[in-house]
Structure 1
Amino acid sequence: MEVKLANRVKALTPSATLAITAKAKELKAAGYDIIGLGAGEPDFNTPQHIIDAATRSMNEGHTKYTPSAGLPALKEEISKKFKRDQGLEYTVNEIMVASGAKHALYTLFQVLLNDGDEVIIPTPYWVSYPEQVKLAGGVPVYIEGYEKNEFKITPDQLEGAITDKTKALILNSPSNPTGMIYTKDELAALGRICLEKDIFIVSDEIYEKLIYGGHQHISIAQLSPELKAQTIIINGVSKSHSMTGWRIGYAAGNSEIIKAMTNLASHSTSNPTTTAQYGAIAAYSGSQDEVEKMRKAFEERLNTIYEALIAIPGVTCLKPQGAFYLFPNVQKAAEQTGYSTVDEFSTALLEEAKVAVVPGSGFGAPKNIRLSYATSLDLLEAAIARMKEFVEKKTK
């Protein structure tokens, strides 16, 4: 029997991060000493009080279905978190808990977009944004965030990209992959245009707790009631509390949109995993000391390896302000070592230097690579040393 796949999946681009991870695992299984810098998750275990709360919930019999939008108690804790951290007021009817922030985004695009609706995506972008937009029948419209502008888009660029088909703008601050953060003034300028043109703002704030160098995370929804009404915030506990495998994320925004997302979830996932929701309640209601401890560790790693990275011939890099990625421009290093593309350079790094990085082409930035510093300092220093030796040895 001939298998005819749906057209919607034929156009999907495989995840660059998962592809490099699979190749690295293959080489590691073959006995090679691979240092992987592709991870998009903290290398710390989930804080013990969260694990204990989840275990307790199971022992107490909380192993059944929950409401599709999540446990009311969890939504209450998320509401308190918004109030505590950003002064934002969200009722439980304006919050939907999902099976990870990725699922929250996917569900949002499914209920927001009609065929042909355009979504503006600044580059560099997280790899799943364009694919999720396409799966919902939407059309990704890219605006290049230039390195000279810290990879951030300008109001003029945004205004020039808007058409009568534009439905939404995606903002990711702090950014994956660049680690850059939009300032209050920059957000206000972009927000004014979104209000004037009546387009939604999808604000992905999953890295909000990982901020360095005295920088500050500000949600565009904080700037005015009008912007809050037009913004859907996406967040979760994956990065902040090292709970990637628990798969708990959420969306907050217009109650009509949240209701539609809840209805869709009721026919797809039924509800987020019950035990994980009890863990997330503990994550937000309990001590945040471990969150700060992890943040400090990431900042120490960044400050330790950054100078070594930019000392590699042909490598330049803006110092990240948040998240846990470095996003260096290695185009010159690639050319110096005899490779015509950064993708080829990245493959050679893996096969010859035994260092796994993610090519920037998967993020819409083909001159760059993404390095995660969510691994031990010893491994990071060893990886940078291998990269330097590789470039210096092969430079022609």
Structure 2
Amino acid sequence: MPNKNPFKASSGTTPPLLVGRDDYIEDFTYALDNGPGTHERTTLITGTRGIGKTVLLNHFGDKARERGWFLFEETATPGFVNRLRDQVYQQIRTLGEGSRKTLKALNLNIATLGGVGATFDTLPDHLPNYTLRMALQDLLNFQKQQATHIRQEPSGILITVDELHYNVLAETRDFGAVLQHLTRDNENIAVAVAGIPSSVKPILASKEGENPVTFLRRTNRVELDKVSTDEVRRGLVIPLDATDKSWDTVALKMAIDACGGYPFMIQLVGDWCFRYSETNTITPDVAQKGIAKAQRKLGQLVHEPALNDLSDIDRTYLLHMAQNEGESSTSEIAAKLKKTVQYANTYRTRLLEAQLIHQTRQGYVDFELPYLREYLREHEASMILDYI
């Protein structure tokens, strides 16, 4: 039996077994098959870091590929709309290779930019005046013509955009406008976008004098949360079926508890326990060592970047929470911050929206991310120095 580590503890990498997300995949797959107008064809995925947003986007893309769809994937950094346009343009050129018809004869938008008598073979590598809307319309129309010629159903287009952020609000509006036009025209197109709540919420907010990104406000919302204990168990056990290793019963219980329902921890714990195991059985001693390593890795890969996105007072709020063993009183935190409860609630609300904390009962909060309390305690001194 092969003994290759089956766990994938790299951020955004598709794990060997995706657990707890079947309903979302089924809904999106149904939308692809059911045709234009199905609500889930525009889906917004939100959730904290490491909860599996990118992985779910990857699975949506896999379902589209299985159906012969065109798939275009981007990350929402500045210029993402033009990068998508360039991807679509290159796909059109690839489809048109060998075609002797002029672009004008094919009734494509690109004909107005390619010059009189232009063909696919004479197109330049880059067309800066070609818009994303023009490119998508051309790809849809051209592949419809090809499908009609060979008497097949035309395929669709899926666009996925990861790490959506309000820093690219203007581009996101432009992107949304393009999709709205194509959707109204009943085109065979779908889109799935993902981002952390604190980065997405400002895009959804409708401020006076600003146009909200309507297509996002009307999307199918997928708010990812922790997975059940049974799903964690499946995520740890089933990948080992393809190897010569298995879990000791006690070690498995330790690993399940350590994951806390957090998808990325399943991969981290599984990965390091597998690495440290020198026999066919992952023992409690190995599990203890692997869990400790996984916790440190979680700090580097999830906690550190999450905290870097916060203001100094946000982080101080969390540092005060970390002094408690369990839930924290919001009034006590306000007192430690030397602020009124109402003023401190501004920061509490931001941390709730970022899904770093959750409300346990009226007036009390606790950490949402696993091991964030321990990370804050360990790094408290250096964090305080950073604020000075």
Shorter-chain TM-score above 0.5: no
TM category, shorter: under 0.3
* Higher helix proportion: 2
**TM-score under structure 1 length normalisation:** 0.25
Q: Which has the higher contact order (CA 8 A, sep 6+)?
A: 1
Output the TM-score relative to the length of structure 2: 0.25
Larger radius of gyration: 2
